[in-house]
Amino acid sequence: MNTKTRVALLYGGKSGEHEVSLKSAASVLRHLDRARFEPVPISIDKQGRWQLQDPRRLAESNSESLPIFADAQEIRLATDAQGALAAAPIAANGEAAAIDVVFPVIHGPLCEDGAMQGLLELAGAAYVGSAVMASAIGMHKDIAKRLAGLAGLPIAPYLVASRRDYRRDPTAVAAAAKAALALPVFVKPCNMGSSVGVHKVKSWEELGAALDDAFAYDTKVLIEQGVDAREIEVAVLDGDPPFASLASELNAGPQHEFYSYEAKYLDADGATVDLPAKLEPAQMSRLQELAITAFTALECSGFARVDFFLDRVSGEFYFNEINTLPGFTAISMYPKMMEASGTPYPALITRLIELALERHAERAGLKTDYAG
């Protein structure tokens, strides 16, 4: 009898961050505690097909990015009469794979914005990470900033532009930005991560091209005030109370204007990291407090990475964004910060799965009907 917990490793996804997911998933699969857990790798290709992959075949590939083999069995999530979850084959002659908990190692729209979490809720699945609402809020930079601001976190000035308004009158959008903000500004898709579609605008003549590219990824775009700031991150792990790690500082290389997608993933010398960040003890304590406030205010669970700017002139911390499914390779910043704070990568994976099962058991105890 199999007594191991069957972990569905969900990776890929129909999003602009597909390739980032493949790297994270390869690392999680490699470090999963096989004495306790049995991996059930499930890929989602760029067309949105779900397939059950063979973990032995994946292991033999020995790749830093987990492959998606196109000939793998196509599946759907299904539950039996007792409510047990499985990856059920689409083909009549396929064999279902039982699932105890889902570990979504996926990023971007439809993956970490609440859409996938809603599907997993409907399937009755235990899953790692935040639930529907926090996932949706965390992915929506505008709403996240609004709620963080209500919770008392400092927010740098910004404007929001819709694609509809921009198409109707691009001059008006540019004029509003010029009136409210000073150069440089950053243009960001509202619902993307990994710095996809992000541009630093140093002259107003560059704004139109930056907006055109950002609107290719989303229907809402943020135009944010550029701040002469240090980029600081904190990892938060759920608990009672939540735990905030030592902070790290990201220093983009001189060949990059900021910590862009290229600096993160394509350029081996794209950035250097100070871990822990070079902060005074009082600053570190303040930052950890702000990170936990953001995690709690946005109703997060499981884990999250909270990103801040530290103004070089005023010394003020500004909340930038929260990532409810951060990059999860062994060298990604969330695991590295947790390891520097006393939780090694394999133990972190185990703890996240435990938290998912604990939350699922707690929610399963809630009433789902009303007898009057």
Residues with a known catalytic role: 17, 194, 265, 305, 307, 321, 323, 327
List the structure tokens of 182: 């000073």
The size of the chain, in residues, is 372
- In whole angstroms, give the CA distance from residue 372 to residue 370: 6
- In whole angstroms, give the CA distance from residue 234 to residue 323: 11
242-274 CB burial, b ≥16 within 10 A, e <16: bbbbbbbbbebeeebebbbbebbbeeeebbeee
- In whole angstroms, give the CA distance from residue 25 to residue 44: 12
List the structure tokens of 226: 């550029």
* E-only strand ranges, the chain: 5-12, 37-44, 50-52, 73-79, 85-89, 97-99, 101-106, 158-162, 185-189, 199-201, 220-225, 229-237, 243-244, 248-252, 271-274, 303-311, 317-323
312-349 CB burial, b ≥16 within 10 A, e <16: eeeeebbbbbbbbbbbbbbebbbbbbbbebebebeebb
